[in-house]
Amino acid sequence: MAESKGKTAKSESFEATLWQTADKLRKNMDAAEYKHIVLGLIFLKYISDAFEVLHSKLEAGEGEYQGANPEDPNEYTAEKGFLCASHSPLEANCR
Res. 2: pLDDT tops 60: no
As separate numbers, helices (DSSP H) first and strands (DSSP E) second, the chain gives: 4, 0
Report d(CA 26, CA 17) in Å as an integer: 14
Between helices 31-60 and 2-26, what is the axis angle to 10°? 140
Res. 88: pLDDT tops 70: no
pLDDT digits (tens, 9 = 90+) for 26-37: 777 777 887 887
The domains of the chain, with CATH numbers, are 2-94 (1.20.1260.30)
Q: How confident is the model at residue 6 (pLDDT cuts 50, 70, 90)?
A: low
Q: Is the pTM of this model over 0.85?
A: no
